[in-house]
Homo-oligomer: A and B are copies of this chain.
């Protein structure tokens, strides 16, 4: 029996709108999940994302992402469990998806190879069974296994969890990548076996992850194997990190037809308005990206024609809003001149307002997508 239930609201050849029910929440996909790395979304008051006063008539945000690696190290999964799960800890009743922690370990590993000065401190060691690493906070030693990563995420009370995967730097040869794919497959089996044994009756769901760069044959092989574990959904990773736009799209277009059709598809780390739109047209349902908030902290705002660099001299006395169409309270209440003033003074409020706008801009874009699709005649 599937825990994640869905109802097809509209499905046309190139796009789909589903209503997904999981635990106490009903979502409509396609959906953008803001990134709440460390039990908060950088720069925001979380309440505002669920308050009509700040997001107008948009549906409230009710699914976000959090990072297993960071929260496991600080404040620790046991403390979060003691706080009655991540939801209660951060005081939000939204659903939470957590990643597997692999990508951050992998970044440490890459960093170690590239930054020799600190490499004696960073220790990352991989075997079939586990990955060992030292904490970048205090150099204490830790390890992840597929089973432990499930347990950690269960301690968070994550609604949607990811299996521990493994993948490879850009300079690996295909033989190595293939080997790592097989390790990942065996890890997925272990994670699901463990989950089945220990958390079968929980309200939580676990997604496998398909990776392997732009090696489409490996992607195909991985989809074939992992589809058996796509009980409630499936994630597609490892695009958009260092690839060109064209390659991202190639992977999206290739996997489109191969993935199981009757499960939600989560395209990891894709977050520009254009890339999200392209992926929606290929039946992807869930997205996350740090870009929205990171842009905000770099004084950049999404807008309908081009990204606005708010510190640009031309906005100094521009009393118009960032956009006329975004329903967020920033666009409704503040001028570019005020936002530029905050940016020049490096006031935190500037980061907050731009980050908030960027998240709601994507949220609104997806909402418009859904409305447009729902009105479209079925072909």
Contact = CB atoms under 8 A, between A and B. Distances in A.
A338 B90 contact: yes
Nearest to A337: B83
B316 A79 contact: yes
Nearest to A41: B349
Given A43-B348, A79-B317, A38 B91 contact: no
A345 interface: yes
- The residue in A42, A74, A79, A348 that gathers the most chain B C-beta atoms within 10 A of its C-beta is A348
A352 B348 contact: yes
Nearest to A347: B40
Nearest to A341: B75
A53 B349 CA distance: 19
A103 interface: no
Nearest to A51: B53
Copies of this chain in its oligomeric complex: 2
Interface string A79-122: 10011000001110000000000000000000000000000000
A335 B83 contact: yes
A338 B44 contact: no
A319 B45 contact: no
B74 A329 contact: no
A316 B75 contact: yes
Contacts of A47: 53-54, 329, 333
Contact of A91 (B39, B46, B317, B334): B334
Given A74-B344, A91-B333, A333-B91, A338 B83 contact: yes
Contact of A341 (B42, B74, B349, B351): B74
Contact of A82 (B75, B319, B334): B319
Contact of A351 (B74, B338, B348): B348
Interface string A320-361: 000000000100011101101110110111011000000000
A25 interface: no
A74 B341 CA distance: 7
Given A39-B341, A82-B317, A89-B335, 12 more contacts: A39-B342, A40-B342, A47-B53, A47-B329, A51-B53, A74-B341, A74-B344, A79-B316, A82-B319, A83-B337, A89-B341, A352-B352
20 contacts: A38-B345, A39-B341, A40-B342, A43-B349, A44-B349, A45-B48, A51-B53, A74-B341, A75-B316, A75-B337, A75-B344, A79-B316, A79-B337, A82-B319, A83-B319, A83-B337, A89-B341, A90-B338, A348-B352, A352-B352
